[in-house]
Amino acid sequence: MHSVPSLKGAPRPTTLRDARKLGLLPSVTNILGVIAKPELTAWLQTQAVMAALTLPRIAGETEDAFAKRVVEDSQTTRDGAADFGTAFHHGAERVAQTLEVDAAHPAADWLKHYRCWYQGNALALRWTEKVLIHPEGCYAGTADLLIEHPVHGLTLVDLKTMKIKPGAKPSPYKSWCYQLAAYRVALGEPVRCMNLIVNSTEPALPIEHLWSEDEIQLGWQAFMAAHRLWCIEKNYDPAAGASRTGQPGEMVLTA
């Protein structure tokens, strides 16, 4: 459950108030939001600086007005990256289900490369885009893919899109490991955990990053620490809320 009806009847995003009332669970992504992400912060700062350097000044424009335009321009870049990631995920789900790529899809060229990887590495598909719920009702989340991999066996795969400079190797974020560790515990199966990294700069074969068992174990500890902090910051224990209503469900907070 990501939305509830507003007073006017239209759907609106769920909030913490809804969570307390309905016994909803925070998403894995929402919980990880309490952790500082210096790489993301640095990228956002870079976008703001680039916008300040490239935006033309308007005659008579005040410094405050120019600063506002700089922020808006940098946010456009951020939102564009997020939109590409969302579109790619939708297309990847279709590939897993049908092996089809819509020629009109905005990420069609990227999805064709993804299909090549999928056909060569997904010996069997268990599921795609599945909601996983922690057995004690601590959290929920939607995982991307569970496949039989030719090298690693049963593997939980999470897709990530990021800009990769020519000739450079992608640097996976630690929070990706935390996310996969949380999904694996909710899944309740001894699977390997992998991020599949897609270069959003240009179409290319996605790059596998397999997390070691030691990394996943540490990732789980980190995630549970974040979960505890989330509970303290929000003054809400999702496990208690879910057990009270008997109807746990995933939520996404906007406030």
Number of domains in the chain: 1
Could you read off the pLDDT of 173-201 as tens digits, one per residue? 999 999 999 999 999 999 999 999 999 99
Question: CATH code at 130?
Answer: 3.90.320
Q: Are strands 3-5 and 11-13 parallel, antiparallel or unpaired?
A: antiparallel
> How does pLDDT run across 56-75, given as a tens digit for each residue?
888 887 887 777 776 776 66
Q: What is the residue range of 116's domain?
A: 3-251
Predicted confidence (pLDDT) at residue 255 exceeds the cutoff of 50: no
pLDDT confidence of residue 16:
81
> Between 44 and 249, where is the model more confident?
44
Tally of CA atoms within 13 A in the half-sphere of 166 that contains its CB:
1
Reported pTM: 0.81
Q: What residues contact 67, with CB distance under 8 A and at least 6 apart?
A: none
Averaged pLDDT for residues 2-23:
73
Local structure of 240: helix, strand or coil: helix
Integer CA distances (angstroms), 30 to 34, 139, 175, 186, 231, in order: 8, 9, 12, 16, 11
